[in-house]
Structure 1
Amino acid sequence: MQRRLSRKQKRSKNYDKQRIKVARMHHTIDNTRKDFHFKQAHALCDAGDMIFIEDLDYSKMAKGILGKHMLDAGFGQFRTITKYVCWKRGKFFSCVDPRGTSQECPKCGALTNKDLSIRIHHCSSCGYTTDRDVASGQVIRNRGYASISTPGLSGKETACAADLPGAEVTQSRQVAKSGKEKTRKSSK
């Protein structure tokens, strides 16, 4: 459709018709992607009470070899939508430091340098072996727990829900009734 648009004479009736078709197509793609992001965010909220995401800089990643794919997937929009859905449903959301998540062992914390071609994590220190992506997810989870835990009280109390970042009190849209109105008859 965009090729057809580029071949039309600018400011003609056919150019305007084709421009509207291209705009509708992009709008449909945008709505489809946003719908998928909302469904995935709700699925994540159904799976757990806390969600931790790497705080990646997507603008730098979009300049690399996978730039077009990064922009097509809309990772920044997904993070924003996930944060919103967590807030709406009362779930905890936090971003963690992304440095070295695929290099660190989730069990002992030792750094194991690996190329991107190596897909299995094997720690030489503790002998823990698992898929590389699973190990990275476990490291992200551990960093998220460490960011909300209270120092010196491990095992006793990890955090108070009112003081957690991202667990703000939501304002209700309903107006409370005054105490003057009685809803039940008084028994005399």
Structure 2
Amino acid sequence: MITLTYQYKLKVNKRQKQDIAHILDVGKSVYNYALSERKDWLNSRKCLADRCSLVSEYIIPADEPYPNYFVQAKNLTEAKKFSPILKTVNAQVLQQVLKTLDKAFEQMKSKGFGFPRFKKKIRSFVFPALSKNFLGDGCLNFPQLGKIRIRKSREYPSGFEPKQARIIQKASVFYVSVSFQSPELVPDMTVGKT
């Protein structure tokens, strides 16, 4: 399959700008909370068994599972029942935030990157699945945000369908990166003489 990513500038109104800022803020809170959950779990396993610390102790049950992506995504759905702020944001967007954190931990283990840090702000979020009527003439139809006008600097590719969209904030301007995918398969390259 062939994947193309096109970037367009968004023409947001005041309400849409507030909605996007709210999603970014809630995403930052979910990321930081999930990171603190993982840090607390790791620190609770480092405690000495024969004595207590004078500063603090992390009291987490010994049979508590490691808070990986799947455990935290399950806890997120439970938290959405009690938190009205989490209900205002699309669930798939928050799950993508948790996947970003999980990817940071995988890179820390496999590639030797540093321990993930808490975020002061996040600059982007992803809609991983888009509706059939996502593409409009001069506008894009996002879940939860509704129709947002774009500066159509290039035409949509023909024969491709949109798979995911990432809204990015650069300074005070918003952009969207739309990933288009072709259903056609690309043949493998043959090596050597045929």
TM-score (norm: length of structure 2): 0.24
Q: More relative contact order in 1 or in 2 (CA 8 Å, sep 6+)?
A: 2
Which is helix-richer, 1 or 2?
A: 1
- Please tell me whether Structure 1 or Structure 2 has the larger radius of gyration of its CA atoms: 1
Higher normalized strand content (fraction of residues): 2
Normalised by the length of structure 1, the TM-score is: 0.24
